[in-house]
Amino acid sequence: MTMLTSMLAIENLHASVADKPILKGLNLTINAGEVHAIMGPNGAGKSTTGYVLGGRPGYEVTEGSATFNGQDLFALEPHERAASGLFLGFQYPVEIPGVSNLQFLREALNSQRKFHDLPPLSGGEFIKLAKEKAGLLKMDMDMLKRPVNVGFSGGEKKRAEMVQMGILDPKLAILDETDSGLDIDALRICGEGINAIMRKPDKAVLLITHYQRLLDYVKPDFVHVLAGGRIVKSGGPELALELEEAGYEGVA
Amino acid sequence: MTALPTRKAEAWRYADLAALEQLWPLAEPEAITVSAGGDYTRAILNTGGVIRITLTIEAKASATIHVLNASATYARVEIEATLHEGADFTLGGVQIAGGTQTAEIVATVRHIAPDATSRQILRSIAGGTATASVLGKVYVAKGADGTDGQQSMRAMLLDRTATANARPELEIHADDVQCAHGCAIGELDANGLFYLAARGIEPSRAKALMLQAFIAEGLDGAEDNLLAHAQAALEAVL
């Protein structure tokens, strides 16, 4: 019998930002085909979890481990983590003046392909792919010709992130408050985008969110409550509803 | 000018005087006249030494000069442009300096008659212990009403040991004039670099992308040869 390798296994993770401990013994296992949601109050360490896994400079792992498809995640540089199939969706997507979305995405995709010794996509192949994924998120191709996130509304930035996810086709998406700043229509479009791109047997999603509302569109298999830098309670989708009613203090 | 300048001379304040001494005395500036209603474009690639141009743009004529200072011990470009009535002048300049290089652009734009327009878009990148300097002056003579003179100077430091100087200067003797100048010196945005990395782009490539974007405005419309040299110079300083 072979051991099944989980997609992401986080064990006893401790992490600090500017020498201040934020994560204090986080444990979490995510298998292929699963959607997990981490919920929790402000300051619980939700965003830190995403940044530590993505490898943002300044987020220091002080103890514990994370294994991504059998690999030591923390031994990889941020761009290697991305190329290995980890996608970090940003709560506040960064503006890059002067670099168009299309240039950025083609560069990103071909960098990831190079990492796997695959030839770059031609311009034509790439545009076809970009059109398809932009269509999925109801995003105009003209917007993809504009500089990355510059002058985009909050909702447009989040939809652009989902287009990026569609094009890069990751194994695991960690989505940090993708629902913040979205109106009802954009929330539905993003939710449907996440389902279309990531709800597959060989992929997994970790949603980091304050609210139940995104979970109406992307149904989680597991919900975890993060408080004080560790997971204090786990359950099924009903836990999110409980939290919505009773608040974090009532549940955790 | 016969004697070697010293740092007391404002236009030579940031120069590499040891390198300059080897080049001294300099040849007379190249004089170019764009005749009335004419159109002139020029690309200057300076990979070493001092290039000096004196440009006269006659009434309703236009001129565009693109400058690339790159990959030299000492690269200096001096441009003095004199604009007659209704003339138009664009100076787009990029300098990319690494190691111990010194690069400088010294530009003087003189509006001597009404309704002329000018813009200077100058971008510098300095790494290592290099020095990249930009001195840009807009002079508007008495009676040169309707002048529109713009200056935009930006510099990017790749290392804390590098130096960038930017000195915009306005001297205005007319009343009805629009002159704007902007000047900024900074470093590559760490958040931007992480964002690119988080999408799989390796660090050196991420820097190159952001720097390409940074210099793009300075070389907007420049000929391909200059763009290719800029690309190579960027890769050399990363």
pLDDT digits (tens, 9 = 90+) for A2-61: 456 799 999 999 999 999 999 999 999 999 999 999 999 888 999 999 999 999 999 999
| Model confidence band, residue B1 (pLDDT cutoffs 50, 70, 90) | low
Is pLDDT above 50 for A1? no
User: Closest Cα to residue B12, out of B156, B155, B135?
Assistant: B135
Is pLDDT above 80 for B71? no
Is the Cβ–Cβ distance between A25 and A14 less than 8 Å? yes
Is the Cβ–Cβ distance between B76 and B54 less than 8 Å? no
How many percent of chain A have pLDDT more than 70? Answer: 98
Is pLDDT above 60 for A220? yes
Looking at residue A176, its amino acid is D
List the domain boundaries for chain B.
10-237
Tens of pLDDT, residue by residue over B18-58, are 999 999 999 999 999 999 999 999 999 999 999 999 999 99
- Among A59, A94, A114, most B C-beta atoms within 10 A, so best to mutate, is A94
Is pLDDT above 50 for A83? yes
For B74-94, letters b (16+ CB in 10 Å) and e give bbbbbbbbbbbbbbbbbbbbb
How far does Cα A112 stand from its chain's mean position? 17
Of B195, B205, B212, which is closest to A94 when you measure between CB atoms?
B195
Tens of pLDDT, residue by residue over A113-136, are 999 999 999 999 999 999 999 999
Residue entry with tokens 């934020």: A22
- Mean pLDDT, chain B, as a whole number? 95
Residue numbers in B near A168 (CB within 8 A): 199-200
Helix or strand run (H / E) with residue A87 = strand A86-89
Predicted pLDDT at A180: 87
Is pLDDT above 50 for B16? yes
Of A78, A98, A147, which is closest to B198 when you measure between CB atoms?
A78
User: Closest Cα to residue B127, out of B14, B15, B237, B232?
Assistant: B237
Q: Could you count the other beta carbons within 10 Å of the beta carbon of residue B186?
A: 11
Is the Cβ–Cβ distance between A228 and A252 less than 8 Å? no
Burial of A112 (0-12, 13-18, 19+ CB in 10 A): buried
Of B191, B202, B209, which is closest to A94 when you measure between CB atoms?
B191
E-state strands within chain B: 30-34, 39-46, 49-57, 62-70, 74-83, 88-97, 102-111, 117-126, 131-140, 147-157, 163-172, 177-187
The complex's ipTM works out to 0.95
For the residues B77-88, what does the mean pLDDT come to?
98
Predicted pLDDT at B18: 92
Q: Residue A216: what are its φ and ψ, rounded to 5°?
A: -70, -30
Predicted pLDDT at A2: 47
Residue ranges of domains in chain A, CATH in brackets: 8-251 (3.40.50.300)
**Closest residue, chain A, to B188 (C-alpha):** A96
Three-state secondary-structure class, residue B183: strand
CB contact under 8 A, B205 and A90: no
Which residues neighbour B56 within 8 Å (Cβ) at sequence distance 6 or greater? B31, B32, B33, B34, B81, B82, B84
